[in-house]
Structure 1
Amino acid sequence: MKIFKWIVKIALVIIGVIFLVVVSVLAIDQYQTRYLKNRNKDLANAGTCLVTHVNVIPMTSDTILMDQMVYIREGKIEAIGEAIDVQNVKVVEGKNKYLLPGLIDMHVHLWDRYELGLYLANGVTAIRNVWGMPMHLRIKEAVSNNKIYSPSFFTTGPKLTGPEFIGSDNLQIFAPEEGRERVRSYKKRGYDFIKTYYGLPKDIFDAVIDQAAISGMDIVAHPSNKVPYTYHFNSQIASIEHAEDIVQRALDYKLDTLKLNQLANEFADSPHTSMCPTLMAFYNIYNMLEDDEILSDSMVQYMNPAIKMLDSHTQFDRWHNAKMEDTAVVSRIKNQHEFHLLAIRKLHDAGVNIVCGTDAGIGITVPGYSIHQELSFYRQAGLSNFEVLKAATINAAKTHKIINNMGSIEKGKIANLILVDNNPLIDPGVLKKPDMVFVNGRGLDRYTLNSFEEKSRNRNGLLATLIRFVENSVVEK
């Protein structure tokens, strides 16, 4: 009996120590991201200002409204005009710069709050997280209540796959009714969308789609190999992710332009479904193949430390070894990337809604910065500069009803805006370092945005991220 009591005491001590370590690690991590905390108690006035002498790019049409005023009231655009008479509001002098909607990244993997600052520093004022975990619900609550400076934040629930085990990062569903219950649960808990994934069989997929319609939740679909690619052309599926899966699923790894043309027309016949290309993530495979020192690149130092340890190195080793076994893999990856550009052009020409997404947060695809390379690929694909900007603004906002109150400069829209020195319709590259970013009307100057970048570089949030991974495994499995 005494031995049993000692065992219990030791176990309680160990549990207590673990609990204290976990609480301490998370508290330190939250303390280190306190620079994102919104300390302004007067939230309404913090989102109210008058921007003067600014050139407005509304994104509703390919035009510029020269020398305008934009009145922002309580986080929303109240008026746009040559002369607006309002008293006792903060004035932001536009100095003949250019004001346009903030960028929207529709495919990210967010691992910590530091990354929120990275997105803002790069002019990204809304993000759609597509691998939901309990921590994302806490971030969503903090953002919704204006407790922190952050892009507007939306998230799917955990990734849903079928009975076949394809990785511990996916939630296995074994029966249709279980799929329905997951959808109901995610709706109740506050996730915005459903994420379906590789390996989801038709009977479960059908149940998920049906329940998503009942629950009023859009689906974000990573194409499943258990159904035809065209199965995903469903009104409940708001977007299909990854141009690479056009090649790897729809075309069976063949760079077939005739079949691509047919697919583009079929895609266009499903007007409720957008394409989110994530070209940057695939192109980073080529970057890893070409540069043996890429993990030491200065940009990679902005990746979450746990992801660098668990994913960046793993991906690099995989492709480095593949190159050692067959050097032709380099040209195959490059050729497939070039075909992705053709695919985007074909889809665009067919009338498919192209929305910008980067897959930032995994591999070496850096949050915030990667969106500018992603947009440059759309230009290489043959889209005009205006069409490129649409993909990250008004096109993205069309994808879901809950985000169509942003993406353009119009009366009543959320004042998620960016102010840049030169005309992005001539050179979208000017978006890389916005002079000012507005989130819900609250302006952040370049000095503040630079500090967000500096705080996130080489951060030490490894243990905090690992703890959140463990939490997700316990809660969701």
Structure 2
Amino acid sequence: MTYRKTTMSMAKLAIAFSLGLTSVVAIAKPGKRDETPASATVIEHVTIVPMTETGGVIADATVVIENGRITSLNGVAPKGAKRLNGKGKWLIPGLTDMHVHLPSDGLPRPPKYPTEAPTFFFDTQDIMTPYIANGVTQLLNLDAVAASVGQRNEIASGKILGPSIALAAVINGAEGRGRIANTPADGRQTVRNIKAEGYDFVKVYSDLNVDTFIAIVEEANRQGMKVLGHIPESFEGQLEKAFVPGFAMVAHAEEFSKQSANFTDEDAKRFARLAKQNGTWVSPTLVTMRWIASETRSLDEMKANPNLKYMHPLLQSKWTTANRYNRNSSPKLIDYFDRMVEFHRRLVKAFKAEGVPIVAGSDALTSGVVGGFSLHEELELMVGVGLSSEEALATATRLPAIWLGVDGDRGTIEVGKRADLVLLNANPLENISNISKIAGVSVDGRWLDRAALDARMADLAKRNEATKADFDFGKIGK
């Protein structure tokens, strides 16, 4: 296929990156108002967008949160509760990004000896703060490693304020990156290893051969684990064979466009039928290819992005000085990516028309894709291709919870569910961009108002700016 070796897949071109701080930067401790929650928090006179399957809104509600759970939607404030005025505001469930890559501690070069420890360290709170500030209370990490388990556990223990994290470990083939399996027997054993090591899901990658891919999906079914990820290149010309029972989600629209020679509407409809017939969900990651197309043309938009300051300086340097999309640019590649962006729009329309479940993922940590903010961009792009604001919001709330198997605990606003909530200053059903107008966020019942969120973000940006000179990507590791 044209440009196959140049473009491959977005994740292949993007991540494989686990660097961090040369020393752990001290993190400003949050103030008492958001560190020690009241015995209960009550949001009064608020309009609830519960995002239940029946839809609708609940006007002039009183939401009571106790011990991290929603205990009433029309109750009375318990004695000693923190009372918040929700008049004129809208309450939605916390958002989920179903495709992120989280940086983790590591080496900037191959180890000099087998037991060498990491020399670069990321601060977990710094990674998570932009997500929380954007109302993202749940993540699916699609490049999970051992350090990712530690990040998840820091949050679960309460040491770090961050989203709940689900972990998918990668299995690849040939001489690619990740865990390598080139035979069905190796594939099955790798699945068993992933389960034993505590990961939640299995991610399949681009270099797997056909037989090993099928064996991985079969073994994951036996182990009660869902499989998601790429459509391996070995399925070119025989795409239908990839859609076997248990291949539960395709992680990029690009995985389909790689299988289309001319980006035709007929191909889009055929791909949608294959996914629907197999019960396979899709996370389009429209925002990623939009940024890649932009960077292939010029780095000006990315460099001017005001959200870039919230990324670690090393990542900022990598994106702006060692950007592989811009470095490999050519007029033909620019045209190819532009046509791919347009085809992805038609793909999402085809998925919707066919009834394929769509969830929002942004592939955060790809060059230019700033976590937290990127999920808002993704939802706006999906509305731009034909989803209603409510349908787009469902792709980041109720539907991810269903796919992840946590819909009994979160994803909608109902009594008994976890208090992961976002309070907005405007109606997101009228305009999806209103999800950016955040008045406050509840993370497992811990309330952060706008001032608290702004203070955390300002501190992060200030510390990043202060350490920029120490993190020149071109010099690190030499």
| Aligned residues between the structures | 429
Please name the residue that 2:55 is paired with: 62
Could you say if the C-alpha distance between residues 55 and 130 of structure 1 is closer, same or farther in structure 2, counting changes exceeding 3 Å? Answer: same
Please name the residue that 1:103 is paired with: 95
Please name the residue that 1:80 is paired with: 73
2:171 paired with 1:160: yes
Which amino acid is the alignment partner of residue 73 of structure 2? Answer: I
Displacement of 1:59: 0.7
Please name the residue that 2:450 is paired with: 446
In the alignment, the residues of structure 2 paired with residue 146 and residue 222 of structure 1 have an alpha-carbon distance, to the nearest angstrom, of 33
Could you say if the C-alpha distance between residues 32 and 331 of structure 1 is closer, same or farther in structure 2, counting changes exceeding 3 Å? Answer: same
Deviations 1:131-167 (A, max 9, x none): 012211111111112221101111112x2111x223x
Q: Are 2:94 and 2:420, in contact at CA under 8 Å, matched by a contact in 1?
A: yes
Quick one: which of 230, 233, 247 aligns to 1:225?
Answer: 233
In the alignment, the residues of structure 2 paired with residue 402 and residue 462 of structure 1 have an alpha-carbon distance, to the nearest angstrom, of 43
Q: Secondary structure in 1 aligned to 2:29?
A: helix
Could you say if the C-alpha distance between residues 224 and 425 of structure 1 is closer, same or farther in structure 2, counting changes exceeding 3 Å? Answer: same
2:357 paired with 1:353: yes
Q: Secondary structure in 2 aligned to 1:32?
A: coil
Q: Are 2:28 and 2:459, in contact at CA under 8 Å, matched by a contact in 1?
A: no
Please name the residue that 2:140 is paired with: 128
Displacement of 1:58: 0.6
Could you say if the C-alpha distance between residues 50 and 452 of structure 1 is closer, same or farther in structure 2, counting changes exceeding 3 Å? Answer: same
Could you say if the C-alpha distance between residues 41 and 258 of structure 1 is closer, same or farther in structure 2, counting changes exceeding 3 Å? Answer: closer
In the alignment, the residues of structure 1 paired with residue 145 and residue 76 of structure 2 have an alpha-carbon distance, to the nearest angstrom, of 45
Which amino acid is the alignment partner of residue 416 of structure 2? Answer: G
Q: Secondary structure in 2 aligned to 1:119?
A: helix
| Mapping of residues 289-438 of structure 1, within 5 Å | 289-294=296-301, 296-297=303-304, 298-310=306-318, 313-314=321-322, 316-323=323-330, 327-402=331-406, 405-438=409-442
Does 288-297 or 443-452 show the bigger shift? Answer: 288-297
Rg comparison, structure with higher value: 1
Please name the residue that 2:107 is paired with: none
Could you say if the C-alpha distance between residues 191 and 95 of structure 1 is closer, same or farther in structure 2, counting changes exceeding 3 Å? Answer: same
In the alignment, the residues of structure 2 paired with residue 238 and residue 463 of structure 1 have an alpha-carbon distance, to the nearest angstrom, of 43
Please name the residue that 2:295 is paired with: 288
Please name the residue that 1:238 is paired with: 248
Q: Are 2:299 and 2:320, in contact at CA under 8 Å, matched by a contact in 1?
A: no
In the alignment, the residues of structure 2 paired with residue 37 and residue 270 of structure 1 have an alpha-carbon distance, to the nearest angstrom, of 49
Could you say if the C-alpha distance between residues 41 and 241 of structure 1 is closer, same or farther in structure 2, counting changes exceeding 3 Å? Answer: closer
Q: Secondary structure in 1 aligned to 2:278?
A: coil
Q: Are 1:52 and 1:94, in contact at CA under 8 Å, matched by a contact in 2?
A: yes
Please name the residue that 1:32 is paired with: 26
Q: Which of the two has greater helix per residue?
A: 1
Identify unmatched segments of 5+ residues in structure 1.
1-23, 471-477
In the alignment, the residues of structure 2 paired with residue 461 and residue 268 of structure 1 have an alpha-carbon distance, to the nearest angstrom, of 47
Which amino acid is the alignment partner of residue 162 of structure 2? Answer: S
Please name the residue that 2:86 is paired with: 94
Please name the residue that 1:137 is paired with: 149
In the alignment, the residues of structure 2 paired with residue 372 and residue 118 of structure 1 have an alpha-carbon distance, to the nearest angstrom, of 12
Displacement of 1:405: 2.2
Cα RMSD (Å) of the superposition? Answer: 2.9
Displacement of 1:359: 0.6
In the alignment, the residues of structure 1 paired with residue 243 and residue 32 of structure 2 have an alpha-carbon distance, to the nearest angstrom, of 41
Q: Are 2:38 and 2:81, in contact at CA under 8 Å, matched by a contact in 1?
A: no
In the alignment, the residues of structure 1 paired with residue 31 and residue 188 of structure 2 have an alpha-carbon distance, to the nearest angstrom, of 37
Q: Are 1:119 and 1:368, in contact at CA under 8 Å, matched by a contact in 2?
A: yes
Q: Are 2:382 and 2:392, in contact at CA under 8 Å, matched by a contact in 1?
A: yes
Q: Are 2:227 and 2:248, in contact at CA under 8 Å, matched by a contact in 1?
A: yes
Displacement of 1:214: 2.6
Displacement of 1:396: 1.4
Could you say if the C-alpha distance between residues 40 and 66 of structure 1 is closer, same or farther in structure 2, counting changes exceeding 3 Å? Answer: closer
In the alignment, the residues of structure 2 paired with residue 348 and residue 47 of structure 1 have an alpha-carbon distance, to the nearest angstrom, of 43
Please name the residue that 2:199 is paired with: 191
Q: Are 2:34 and 2:452, in contact at CA under 8 Å, matched by a contact in 1?
A: no
| Mapping of residues 202-217 of structure 1, within 5 Å | 202-217=210-225
Does 289-298 or 193-202 show the bigger shift? Answer: 289-298
In the alignment, the residues of structure 2 paired with residue 435 and residue 302 of structure 1 have an alpha-carbon distance, to the nearest angstrom, of 20
Deviations 1:181-210 (A, max 9, x none): 322222222222111100111222223222
In the alignment, the residues of structure 2 paired with residue 311 and residue 403 of structure 1 have an alpha-carbon distance, to the nearest angstrom, of 36
Please name the residue that 2:117 is paired with: none
Q: Share of identical aligned residues, percent? A: 28
Q: Secondary structure in 1 aligned to 2:73?
A: strand
Deviations 1:241-268 (A, max 9, x none): 111121112x2x3211112212212211
2:252 paired with 1:248: no
The TM-score normalised by the length of structure 1 is: 0.82
Which amino acid is the alignment partner of residue 253 of structure 2? Answer: A
2:265 paired with 1:266: no
Q: Are 2:360 and 2:396, in contact at CA under 8 Å, matched by a contact in 1?
A: yes
Could you say if the C-alpha distance between residues 215 and 305 of structure 1 is closer, same or farther in structure 2, counting changes exceeding 3 Å? Answer: farther
In the alignment, the residues of structure 2 paired with residue 434 and residue 329 of structure 1 have an alpha-carbon distance, to the nearest angstrom, of 38
Displacement of 1:438: 0.7
Displacement of 1:286: 1.9
Please name the residue that 1:17 is paired with: none
Q: Are 2:292 and 2:325, in contact at CA under 8 Å, matched by a contact in 1?
A: no
Q: Are 1:48 and 1:90, in contact at CA under 8 Å, matched by a contact in 2?
A: yes
Could you say if the C-alpha distance between residues 418 and 462 of structure 1 is closer, same or farther in structure 2, counting changes exceeding 3 Å? Answer: farther
Q: Are 2:49 and 2:92, in contact at CA under 8 Å, matched by a contact in 1?
A: yes
Could you say if the C-alpha distance between residues 142 and 240 of structure 1 is closer, same or farther in structure 2, counting changes exceeding 3 Å? Answer: same
Could you say if the C-alpha distance between residues 462 and 281 of structure 1 is closer, same or farther in structure 2, counting changes exceeding 3 Å? Answer: farther
Q: Are 1:355 and 1:396, in contact at CA under 8 Å, matched by a contact in 2?
A: yes
Q: Secondary structure in 2 aligned to 1:322?
A: coil
In the alignment, the residues of structure 2 paired with residue 270 and residue 321 of structure 1 have an alpha-carbon distance, to the nearest angstrom, of 37
The TM-score normalised by the length of structure 2 is: 0.82
Which amino acid is the alignment partner of residue 338 of structure 1? Answer: E
Please name the residue that 1:200 is paired with: 208
Please name the residue that 1:19 is paired with: none
